[in-house]
Structure 1
Amino acid sequence: MRHHFASIVFLALFGSHACIAADVPCHDVDVCVYGGTASGVMAALAAGKEGANVILVEPSRWLGGMTGGGINHLDWGKGNTVGGSTYKILMEGVKEQPRAHGGHAVQGIGNRAYRERFKKAVEDRGITVIYNHRVGKVQVGDRTIDSPTRKDPIAMNESITKSKKANVIQSITLDYAPVDETGCPIPEPEKRNAITISAKVFIDCSYEGDVLGMSGASYTWGRESREHYDESLAGVRPSLWVHDIDPYVEPGDPESGLVPFVQDKTIGPLGSADSLSMGYCFRHEFDMSGKGIPIPEPTNYDPAEFEVYRRAIRDGVDIFSNRHMRTTLNKFTVHKKAPFVGGAQSNRNLMGSTVYGCNEDYPNGDWVARSQIWKFHQEFLINSIHFAKTDPSAPKSMKQRAIKTSFKKGVFDETGGWPNQFYVRQARRLVSSYVVTQKDLEGRTDPPHAVGLAAYGVDDWPYAVVVEDGKVAVQGGAFSIVYID
């Protein structure tokens, strides 16, 4: 249960190789930052401030990642842990609000405004930004690597590469792959080997960690076991919710198969490792006045896909509330919600904006697989709203909300109302000589060479929707842990 901030998948590998490819446009710089997430922009600004020649590469057309791509309500544990350029971008002109359970919350200036602030910040610093390109291959010493160097997460007793010499990145080659009209990455690039960048330092600040994955450095994903780092809360956790819903196509008959959205996954014993990651979603901004950007009508709607929700509604099973909010250690409350579709941006419930378990192939996958997962989530929203509007089982309150739901104008207009960033909560993680573990979060370590501060509650999200004792279970996503600073 090693924890990382999703926007800071950090890798700095040193090289001194100049551009030599004559047939590919080439840049030779001091620092190449891959990924224009909030952390990527901050890394580029910091390097530029020190006088470095910097290039920032962003696969989409926008900077900021989730900050501006869906999350504009910001919160952190202690306000004084945020300063410098970060504070200026996030907080300038914004009122800080104390939270009842400690820390601070910021309503924010809006997704669009954050994207504009990030863009202006790099322009003011004179940093070159390459948009619409993603890494296709990495030159590591005399090796050219064009695919992930691992097939499975790191096992408990596996030795890791520690030689810096073996992992010196000389250059990266970018493919031209502009996102589609909804902001979704395209499966295949329009042009391979479009640009080569050589640098003394490469920093991977993307959510996916693709430079990391092709660098030869050690990395992993998924859930480590309890024993891996001696963490009592690691690995498989108890199911968050077990709903009294029959999961089988023919009720009571396991041989008939599972209804859609219930996954045929074998979950190991408590504390064991697996390759699952917390669920991903989009953080939409909706308009309930009926004057927003219309949500598209479905082109691939199958009523049978929503059978698990239909059964829940029919049998009076609450699959809409179910978000645990920590008030004090080991005490939780349940936020009761009326049936709705289109909300539940981050709710740990069965029916919301996340279909837990469908992202297993994302962290170490290629862009064909990732694009399919993005599109699946877009299609799920479209189809779930259509289900709420038209299905005889849907209660009146759900129908009324679905009819009113549209995308808010002025936020993601370039992409038809769709957020330009997929909420990749966790993906690849660098395994270096120091690994942040449960002990760090409990204040039981004194890490050397600290370069930053973190202060916020540690949470977890469900990993899959599976069968448990003949019922539908939302697997994982609950533990309590205190952050002590």
Structure 2
Amino acid sequence: MKNLLLYLLLLGMLSSCGGKTSEYEADIIIYGGTSAAIIAAVQAKKAGKSVIVVSPDKHLGGLSAGGLGFTDTGDKSVIGGLARDFYHRIYLHYQDSAAWKWQHQSEYGNKGQGTPAIDGDSRTMWIFEPHVAESVFEDYVQEYAIDVRRDEWLDREKGVHKNDGKIASISTLSGHRYAGKVFIDATYEGDLLAAAGVNYHVGREANSVYGEKWNGVQVGVLHHGHWFKSDISPYKIPGDTTSQLLYGVSADFPGNYGEGDHRLQAYCFRMCLSNHPENRVPFSEPDNYKADNYELLARVFDAGWRETFQKFDPVPNRKTDTNNHGPFSTDFIGMNYDYPEASYERRKEIIQEHADYQQGLMYFLSNDIRVPDDVRNEMSQWGLAKDEFVDNGHWPHQLYIREARRMIGEYVMTEHDTFSERKIDNPVGMGSYVLDSHNAQRYIKPDGFVQNEGDIGVAPKQPYQISYGSLVPKREECTNLMVPVCLSSSHIAFGSIRMEPVFMILGESVATAAVLAIDQQIPVQDVNYAELEKRLLEQNQILSLSKK
């Protein structure tokens, strides 16, 4: 009898322990592992607040550490604060001769995107290898003792717990619960804001919504060089409309100019390639490889196109940040529309589909006899960089989510703001990059030939201000959430804002505002802008052209 009672007691204790959720608490809970997430955490810690980074990612830094090393700077003079500190730390790394393993620094060339890669005057460096960027983010974590919980995925269905219009805590699929005073959604997808019941938009708004010109369907608008400049038949048997369409071509009507739609600009992986014989992993035939998926590209080559290597942008040590270029390239056009709202399982499938497509493209370019000899011979000298992404088959761990959800907050940034046509009363950072959207669809023109649609590149007149109101939800939806990545913006304005330096700038700004909201026990919408501006300027943030 005594043994039975002891057994029942132990069983009760185990049952109660097994059903208990692990709970953690901090002043600020940041969801995401992006560059904005880590910079926000650094600023929170500098301000004396406790913070937990709840990161679905194992690797920190998002695209900045995921292959996008040829930084989209725009006007680098408006990049201040901790964002500039990040690029200063990159500079310091490459000042050590030991950092130049595969080439001498003098051989590098110092080419950047509209700026020298290495800016000795300001002691910043804007171009870098992926593993170097990741090491800088990890240095921040160690230096500021940031509590990072990796591989923690928000329970998107029932994991946001709200009281009186505020998030009290969030729960992850592992069963952990994180309570805080202010929450920051620093993901590329906007999963926390959506689960919190905050309003958002996916796709392109019609031009009529915000009185814009460059939003919505842009049929007939051909910017950059990412369109078919020759008449290419999209049919398996050229010219035969009764034969099947080639892979990747949609039979759907593309829409009328300026109409809104559900389509998203294309995603791709920013590959880090190497042509150093000792640091090159040759392209291998991927699973599910189908050479005919690239027949459209073979026809582009037959038409005389020879721009394959124009976006093999150099980063140190004989490596590249390889991006999309041309009518048929690394962008997997039209294959991401369901990604923002998809389940985690479906997103994993979409990411793998993008990897299969892009790895197949590299194998095709290196091996298929339909590829011109000069292209195939040069491509065969390239491969994945052996010393990058070593735990992922040397393949980037982050898909380039160029755009997913965008919050509809207190203020919506539009092209009018990026063109400095409206006055911003509460700027928390600046942007300057071209309003840049990649193609959203590949369709059949009325003349029966194939064309891409959605690629836009329109330059702002000057660096522009980003409103604090675009970082916070509407008051009635949530009063303690801030969003520095999937911020409140139209599609085309987001095309300029969505650059990694800007995400870091906004990450610092939301953390600074969160500290004020916590100290004064007020909604994030009520943060006094004069106080916020003062702190941001003290932190060397750039808020206007006159205060650079």
TM (normalized to structure 1)? 0.77
| 5+ residue gaps, structure 1 | 1-20, 143-164, 176-192, 325-334, 336-341
1:88-99 matches, within 5 Å, as: 88-92=85-89, 94=91
Answer with 64-73 or 283-292: which moved more: 283-292
Answer with 288-297 or 275-284: which moved more: 288-297
- Say whether residues 1:81 and 2:62 are aligned partners: no
Alpha-carbon distance in 2 for matches of 1:415, 1:228: 43
Shift of 1:344: 8.8
- Say whether residues 1:117 and 2:136 are aligned partners: yes
Aligned residue pairs: how many? 409
Q: 1:294 to 1:25 in 2, by over 3 A?
A: farther
Alpha-carbon distance in 1 for matches of 2:146, 2:49: 10
SS of the residue aligned with 1:56?
A: strand
From 426, 437, 453, the counterpart of 1:475: 453
Which one has a larger percent helix, Structure 1 or Structure 2?
2
- Say whether residues 1:296 and 2:277 are aligned partners: no
SS of the residue aligned with 1:312?
A: helix
2:171 partner letter: T
From 407, 416, 434, the counterpart of 2:393: 416
Alpha-carbon distance in 2 for matches of 1:389, 1:98: 26
Q: Does the 8 Å CA contact 2:266/2:402 hold for their aligned counterparts?
A: yes
The aligned counterpart of 2:23 is 26
Q: Does the 8 Å CA contact 2:68/2:321 hold for their aligned counterparts?
A: no
From 288, 293, 313, the counterpart of 1:305: 293
- Say whether residues 1:232 and 2:213 are aligned partners: yes
Alpha-carbon distance in 2 for matches of 1:77, 1:114: 19
Shift of 1:129: 0.1
From 231, 236, 239, the counterpart of 1:244: 231
1:274 partner letter: D
SS of the residue aligned with 1:453?
A: strand
Answer with 108-117 or 72-81: which moved more: 72-81
Q: 1:249 to 1:353 in 2, by over 3 A?
A: same
Shift of 1:414: 2.0
SS of the residue aligned with 1:413?
A: coil
Q: Does the 8 Å CA contact 1:34/1:206 hold for their aligned counterparts?
A: yes
SS of the residue aligned with 1:235?
A: coil
Q: 1:104 to 1:111 in 2, by over 3 A?
A: closer
Q: 1:415 to 1:224 in 2, by over 3 A?
A: same
CA displacement, residues 398-456 of structure 1 (integer Å, 9 cap, x when unaligned): 22133322211222212121112111111111101200001101111122322222232
Alpha-carbon distance in 2 for matches of 1:59, 1:364: 16
Q: Does the 8 Å CA contact 2:112/2:127 hold for their aligned counterparts?
A: no
Q: Which has the larger radius of gyration?
A: 2
1:280 partner letter: Y
The aligned counterpart of 2:168 is 170
Shift of 1:311: 2.8
1:465 partner letter: R
Q: Does the 8 Å CA contact 2:63/2:398 hold for their aligned counterparts?
A: yes
Q: 1:348 to 1:476 in 2, by over 3 A?
A: farther
The aligned counterpart of 1:212 is 193
SS of the residue aligned with 1:375?
A: helix
The aligned counterpart of 2:57 is 60
SS of the residue aligned with 2:243?
A: strand
Q: 1:217 to 1:93 in 2, by over 3 A?
A: closer
2:142 partner letter: E
Q: 1:311 to 1:79 in 2, by over 3 A?
A: closer
The aligned counterpart of 2:273 is 286
TM (normalized to structure 2)? 0.69
Shift of 1:385: 2.9
From 162, 174, 179, the counterpart of 1:141: 162
From 237, 245, 262, the counterpart of 2:249: 262
Shift of 1:267: 1.3
2:162 partner letter: G
1:473 partner letter: Q
Q: CA RMSD in A?
A: 2.9
Alpha-carbon distance in 2 for matches of 1:390, 1:108: 30
Shift of 1:205: 0.6
From 419, 422, 430, the counterpart of 2:407: 430
Identity within the alignment, %: 27
Alpha-carbon distance in 2 for matches of 1:99, 1:311: 32
SS of the residue aligned with 2:271?
A: coil
Alpha-carbon distance in 1 for matches of 2:50, 2:111: 40
